[in-house]
Amino acid sequence: MVTDSDHLRNQRVVFYSDDIEQIDVVLAEFLELSGCKCNLLIDKEGHMVTSGGDTNSIDEQTVAALVAGSYAATREMAKLLGEDEFSVLFHQGKRDSIQLSMVGNRTIMATVFDDQTTVGMVRLYARAACEKLDAIFEEIRNRPQKKASLDAEFGSSAKGALDFFFTE
Amino acid sequence: MVQINFALKEVNCKIVYYGPGLSGKTTNLEVVHQKAPDTSVGDLTSIATEGDRTLFFDFLPLNLGQVAGMKTKFQIYTVPGQVYYNSTRKLVLQGADGVVFVADSKRGKMNENIESLKNLEENLKEHGLDIANTPIILQYNKRDLPDVYSVEEMEEALNAWDAPHFEAVARDGKGVFPTLKRLAGMVLESLNENHAPRRSPSVVAPKVSADSSGGSTTATAVATSRTGTMRTQRTASVTGSVARTRASVSTQAPTVRTTSSGARPVLVTSPRRRKRRSSMVVGIVLTSIVAATVLLHLAGIIRILP
């Protein structure tokens, strides 16, 4: 019988260096072709997967949480309209704009760009990049899952970190 | 769900504060934002109504520091407590690794607490989770009010599965850290059980009861739900408005380990340094063996080549 903790465990997301290297190559190519400022790859829960380009002026974690929230809300709207989901979202600003593209069914690519490029260029290359990323995620999903192994001292180290952090 | 990113050497966990409207969820987050070291928390972001009621969620990124070579981060969310925001509550709950249920201890609020808890159970079920198997803490808030339910009454009405509970006066910061510490411990314990070799000891933080001392408090903001506005709070303070500069999440926190119960942890060498040291030892041993063999050969005791 599959327990709920099994369910949770099975759903845990693990990214290895090799995966991220492959993903980073696709993102770098996309940034170069489209002329965008930066790119964030975010999972549906709002956790950052990886990023590319100039992200110095961005609070990545907060943007990731808001992107995931925005996407989740829009998906619900789509369902109310009888759609599965809206695969592309676009927020236009005076200076910077952001496009959110769904990659597979659990990752979102957030692309920040300014007037150095156009929406059309971004949309064109984003579609190609999303297809490549989807293929990578598909490969990750289909290969035999090896168990992610944390350091043997994770437990004691975590307890120490909690005691240290939460000292009032 | 926990994200383990070996490329960034990061572990990301999601914690959600749940509970009825005006029970003190956002106040909990404000206290964490205020009390945690500046280098370990980011901005507290709220998507709220103009009346300061949570519309979608509040969000606070918190960096625990290096845990066995992995940057361990918590993304902490609150949900809107008001009944009619259930669809947004459900969205925020998606992928949660642990839940703090903030219950209002004030007499007359029990039905709202029970209704919210049932709603949590239903929403977790929609995400394929059983409340009994999900890391969850009950926080009985507003213990300083004059007319509150006893802890026994709260336990009987709300805690059917014997989850850990804490008393709190979130407005004064009491009980906030112990609650979060215990839940963070439970989440990391679950991670440790599933992803670390067996010899690693338990993570769960010791059970600490928050005391509920006196002092008066009033309920938080009055509800006026109009057009939603989004704000990023740079001056999050419960009692005043102490400005805090934006703290980008640091990755420089030291690796720590407890020495004994109750003692502050001490710095230890990093896994990478230990690995380098063991490589040096192996190198010295091998060199010694080769040198000894050559000497024995020169002395005529053994012959290396025929």
pLDDT digits (tens, 9 = 90+) for B2-49: 888 888 889 999 999 999 999 999 999 999 999 999 889 999 998 888
A25 touches chain B (CB under 8 A): no
B32 and B48 fall within a common domain: yes
Question: What pLDDT band is residue B224 in, cutting at 50, 70 and 90?
Answer: very low
Number of other CB atoms surrounding residue A88 within 10 Å:
14
Q: Is the pLDDT of residue B109 over 90?
A: yes
* Prediction pTM value: 0.74
- Per CB-CB distance under 8 Å, the chain A contacts of B184 are 162, 166
CB proximity B180 to A under 8 Å: yes
Mean pLDDT score of chain A: 87
pLDDT tens digit string along B271-298?
555 566 677 788 888 888 888 888 888 8
Q: Mean pLDDT over residues A139-159, rounded?
A: 81
- Strands B70-78 and B54-67, by their bridges, are antiparallel
pLDDT-based confidence at B229, cuts 50/70/90?
very low
End-to-end CA distance of chain B: 64
Mutate which: B200, B234, B260, vs A, most A CBs within 10 A: B200
Q: CATH number for the domain including B186?
A: 3.40.50.300
Residue A8, φ and ψ in degrees, nearest 5: -65, -45
pLDDT of res. B205 = 57
- Quick one: pLDDT at residue B23? 96
Beta strands in A4-86 (DSSP E): 13-15, 38-43, 48-53
Look at residue A7 and tell me if it is in a domain.
Answer: no
* Digit-coded pLDDT (tens) for B246-280: 333 333 333 332 223 333 333 333 455 556 667 77
Provide the pLDDT for residue B258: 28
Residue B209 has pLDDT above 50, yes or no: no
Mean pLDDT for the stretch of residues B82-103:
92
Quick check: is A5 in a domain?
no
* Within-domain flag for A3: no
Residue A4 lies inside a defined structural domain of this protein: no
Question: CB-based contact (8 Å) between A46 and chain B?
Answer: yes
Q: Considering only the beta carbons, identify the residue of B45, B72, B202 that sits closest to A62.
A: B45
Residue A100: CATH number of its domain: 3.30.450.30
Contacts of A137 in chain B (CB under 8 A): none
pLDDT computed for residue A112 by the predictor: 96
> Could you tell me if B292 and B200 lie in one domain?
no
Q: Name beta bridge partners: B41.
A: B62
Instruction: Provide the shortest C-alpha distance from residue A18 to chain B (in Å).
Output: 8
Residue B152 shares a structural domain with residue B122? yes
Of A44-53, A124-133, B144-153, which range is least confident? A44-53
Return phi, psi of residue B167, to 5°: -90, 145
* Claim to verify: residue B145 and residue B277 sit in the same structural domain: no
pLDDT band at B306 (very low <50, low <70, confident <90, very high): low
For the cut 80, the answer to whether the pLDDT of residue B150 exceeds it is yes
For residue A123, the model assigns a pLDDT of 94
Chain B closest-CA separation from residue A49 CA (Å): 7
Q: What is the pLDDT of residue B191?
A: 87
pLDDT digits (tens, 9 = 90+) for A50-83: 999 999 988 999 999 999 999 888 988 999 999 9
Between B252 and A37, name the one with better pLDDT.
A37
Statement: residue B240 has pLDDT above 70 = no
Split at pLDDT 50, 70, 90, the class of B70 is very high
B57 closest CB neighbour out of A11, A50, A69: A69
Check residue B106 and give its pLDDT. 96
CA atoms lying within 13 Å on the CB side of residue B51: 12
Q: Which tops the pLDDT comparison, B38 or B235? A: B38
Distance of alpha carbon B154 from alpha carbon A95, whole angstroms? 52
Q: What percent of chain B has pLDDT over 90?
A: 51
* Per-residue pLDDT at B267: 33
Structural domains in chain A (count): 1
Q: Are residues B255 and B279 in the same domain?
A: no
Suggest the residue from A2, A49, A61 to mutate for an interface test with chain B (most B CBs closer than 10 A). Answer: A61
Residues B292 and B238 in one domain: no
**Are B156 and B238 in a shared domain?**
yes
Shared domain check, B172 and B55: yes
Domains: count for chain B? 2
Q: What are phi and psi of B102, to 5 degrees?
A: -95, 110
Domain that holds residue A26: 12-165
User: According to the model, what pLDDT value does residue B3 have?
Assistant: 86
Of B6, B185, B256, which is closest to A157 when you measure between CB atoms? B256
Instruction: Calculate mean pLDDT across residues A107-113.
Output: 95
pLDDT at A98: 95
Do the chains contact at A16 and B57, CB–CB below 8 Å? no
Average pLDDT, chain B: 78
B260 and B279 belong to one structural domain: no
Q: Is residue A76 part of a domain?
A: yes
B120, B98: one domain? yes
Torsion angle (degrees, nearest 10) of CA A72, A75, A77, A82: -160
Reported as a pLDDT band with limits 50, 70 and 90, residue B202 is: low
Average pLDDT of span A93-122:
93
Indicate if B95 and B202 belong to the same structural domain. Answer: yes
DSSP string over B146-200: SSB--HHHHHHHH-TT---EEE-BGGGTBTHHHHHHHHHHHHHHHHHHHHS-TTS
Q: Is the pLDDT of residue B304 over 60?
A: yes
- Residue B96 structural domain: 3-266
Q: Choose the weakest-confidence range: A3-17, A140-154, B112-126.
A: A3-17
A6 occurs within a structural domain: no
Same domain, B172 and B48: yes
